[in-house]
Amino acid sequence: MTVSEPLVRVEELTVDYPRGRRLPPLRALDRVSVTISQGETLGLVGESGSGKSTLGDAILGFAPAVAGAVYYRGEEILHARPKRRRELTRQIQVIFQNPYGSLNPAKTIGETLAEPLRFHRLAGAAAAREKVAEWLELVGMAPEAMKLYPSEFSGGQRQRIAIARALILEPELVVCDEVVSALDLSVQAQILNLLTSLKERLGVTYLFITHDMAVVEYMSDRIAVLHRGGVVEQGEASRIAANPADPYTQALIAAAPVPDPAVQRQRRRPTRPEPTTRN
């Protein structure tokens, strides 16, 4: 890998979902190009259905790509063989909106957190238990959580556990897909700050996917704005927030909730918010 090679380079990626014999496929991404440098947080923002999760899925190897490429440290991985893909799960992890997806309700937190360590043969039972306890602490949970089941925790606690599960292998890249969208505002802030402090500690790279303009501004170094399967704008987060070039980005910012109602009215005035920003 040359010095200038980013950690991830998505090039002209096109993804089509089949819709049966009578309908043409649904084009979820149309020649999308983005790069993610090592150690940065790339925010990916856009309304529901704009293709954000599809882009995350493509990097994780789950999207039906029909054209383009995804390079990871310069290696094309869109068509990685199953064995290589399994190896890559050590480096590329994911956290979803609903941690129930990654937390098996029938397994204790201890079993669930030890799983990736066991799968990659990185620890025996005792070492795994120790590492799990350490990670529970890192995400602000007591080690006793190990013996409990996902249903015994709140949404915010479950998200902390899902974060521990994603980070326990110390991956290089974590795809965070709407990770706070199901949480109360006060809990959202705690989870975002946890992700930020873990990033500082581990030097991990995030692809941070959200429909929420305020959240993406808060978390990202750079932002890419997706609209109907295409990137309409990408650049420094501060520049995009202060001076969005694309009308769609301007509308997203105008529609983003701000705490002060007067500011919010002011913000809403210039453009009628076209996009709906629910997921």
Decide: is 154 part of the binding site for ligand ADP (CB under 6 A).
Answer: no
Q: Which of 41, 50, 93, 157 binds ligand ADP (CB under 6 A)?
A: 50
Which residues are CB-neighbours of 269 under 8 A, at least 6 positions away?
A: none
What's the N-to-C CA distance of the chain in angstroms? 37
| The dihedral sign for the CA sequence 73, 75, 79, 85 | negative
CB nearer to ligand ADP: pick between 97 and 157: 97
CB nearer to ligand ADP: pick between 48 and 266: 48
Q: Which of 6, 43, 46, 61 binds ligand ADP (CB under 6 A)?
A: 46
Select from 99, 93, 74 the least CA-distant residue to 5.
74
30: phi > 0 → left, psi -120 to 50 → alpha, else beta; which?
A: beta
Which residue in the block uniquely carries the two structure tokens 């006793």? 144
Give the nearest distance from C-beta 208 to ligand ADP in angstroms. 13
Decide: is 26 part of the binding site for ligand ADP (CB under 6 A).
Answer: yes
* Residues 42-61 contacting Mg ion, CB under 5 A: 53
| Enclosing H/E stretch for 56 | helix 52-60
Give the nearest distance from C-beta 209 to ligand ADP in angstroms. 7
The contact mask relative to ligand ADP for 62-81 (x = CB under 6 A, - = no) is --------------------
Q: Which of 6, 43, 51, 171 binds ligand ADP (CB under 6 A)?
A: 51
Count of residues binding ligand ADP (CB under 6 A)?
A: 12
Give the nearest distance from C-beta 229 to ligand ADP in angstroms. 7
| The dihedral sign for the CA sequence 117, 122, 128, 130 | negative
Select from 30, 40, 31 the least CA-distant residue to 6.
40
Using CB distances below 5 to 8 A depending on partner kind, what does residue 157 bind out of ligand ADP, Mg ion, none?
Answer: none
Cα 238 to Cα 6, 125, 241, 257: the distances in Å are 21, 46, 5, 18
Give 27's Cβ-side CA count (13 Å radius).
11
Q: Which of 7, 32, 40, 54 binds ligand ADP (CB under 6 A)?
A: 54
Give the nearest distance from C-beta 6 to ligand ADP in angstroms. 22
Q: Are 206 and 122 contacting, i.e. CB atoms less than 8 angstroms apart? A: no
Decide: is 277 part of the binding site for ligand ADP (CB under 6 A).
Answer: no
Q: Which of 7, 10, 13, 28 binds ligand ADP (CB under 6 A)?
A: 28
Beta partners for residue 41, in sequence order: 206
Give the nearest distance from C-beta 243 to ligand ADP in angstroms. 24
Count of residues binding Mg ion (CB under 5 A)?
A: 1
Beta partners for residue 13, in sequence order: 32
Question: Residue 5 gets which letter from DSSP?
Answer: -
Decide: is 61 part of the binding site for ligand ADP (CB under 6 A).
Answer: no
Residues at the interface with ligand ADP (CB under 6 A): 17, 26, 28, 46, 48-54, 279
Residues at the interface with Mg ion (CB under 5 A): 53
